[in-house]
Homo-oligomer: A and B are copies of this chain.
Amino acid sequence: MQNTFGNIFKVTTFGESHGRALGCVIDGCPAGLDLCIEDIEKELARRRPGKEHGSRDEKDMPEILSGIYEGKTLGTPIGIVVYNTNQESKDYNDLKDVYRPGHADYSWDAKFGIRDHRGGGRSSGRETLSRVAAGAVAKKILSLHKMEITTMFDAPNIEKLREEKDSAGGIITCRVTGVPAGLGEPVFDKLDARLAGAIVSIGACKGIEFGAGFASAQSKGSENNDRPKEFPNGFEFETNNAGGILGGISTGQEIIFRAAFKPTPSIGKKQRAFAKDGSVKEMEIKGRHDYCIVPRAAIVVEAMTALVLADFLLLSRLTRI
């Protein structure tokens, strides 16, 4: 359940890692937006792993099924599908009755009582493909408003991890420029609250902070309050401890947040793991996996950020009479 994201610009995703296809339906994209398949291909290509990542590599050719006519959106649902072509399900035969450490295997089984274990099923990172496809459409809306999302991260020595049969996590910093003041809702749907929910919904994300974040908890009010520039040109501030958001509403400053991602739980090293019957086994995970998910997760962070902002941009049309 709950596979729809957004209040106005609504995205419903579907698909398992080794099923027939993945995709999404975007409902709520206004009519008249220029959109073509290349817009989506471009973002999916950025998400695609290089050979050095060690992970499953396939072309991920998206197809737009509906909602577009002569290069423009119709205001009807945009269906997008990507067929799976390179799944190697036999790699997962050994994992049918073992719960891989750090994965959703056990919690999933406890919840549903039935599980497509191949490639992680719907809890696979491959699920994010649908998010990136939808995010590509959201970015088109943001670009009309001159909003731009960028991400940065620190990459560990990949070569070394591969030798060690281990994995690494990392921190992604995301910045958004061009955000008008006034986006976000005052109480439950604060802009930062929605971003927090969106980013933490990306698999392996274990935390998020805005502006000065955790450091602000150690500071004083007199230090943490951003103060007006001495000679401001509009509402400009000397610092941006707020991360561009006050009271859940954008201030017009740059939005900044940092998200923590844990190391990929799939590692080649021997590990102890629970089997379905409660016994403990030794296991080595084969399959194809990223040594570090962070570079690809950054693209997903951008996509989710775009979805949240496009949603609030549209919602802001409803604010005043």
Contact present for A320 and B193 (CB under 8 Å): no
Q: A12-B77, A72-B114, A81-B81 are in contact. Are A32 and B182 (CB under 8 A)?
A: no
Size of the chain A interface, CB-CB below 8 angstroms: 153
Number of copies: 4
Instruction: List, in ascending order, chain B residues with CB within 8 A of A122's CB.
Output: 66, 74, 76, 186-187
Instruction: List, in ascending order, chain B residues with CB within 8 A of A210's CB.
Output: 200, 206-207
Instruction: List, in ascending order, chain B residues with CB within 8 A of A72's CB.
Output: 114
| Shortest 3 CB-CB contacts between residues of A and residues of B | A104-B247, A197-B197, A207-B209
A170 at the interface (CB under 8 A from B): yes
Instruction: List, in ascending order, chain B residues with CB within 8 A of A102's CB.
Output: 221, 224-226, 242, 246
Would you mind naming 27 contact pairs between A and B with Cβ atoms under 8 Å apart?
A1-B28, A1-B189, A13-B77, A20-B63, A20-B64, A31-B113, A74-B116, A75-B114, A76-B186, A79-B81, A102-B221, A102-B224, A102-B246, A110-B251, A111-B249, A113-B320, A144-B321, A189-B201, A192-B206, A193-B197, A200-B210, A206-B211, A208-B208, A214-B214, A216-B260, A217-B260, A241-B262
Q: Which residue of B lies closest to A235 (CB)?
A: B274
Q: A65-B14, A79-B23, A106-B251 are in contact. Are A321 and B74 (CB under 8 A)?
A: no
Contact present for B315 and A21 (CB under 8 Å): no
A48 at the interface (CB under 8 A from B): no
A4 at the interface (CB under 8 A from B): yes
Instruction: List, in ascending order, chain B residues with CB within 8 A of A198's CB.
Output: 188, 193
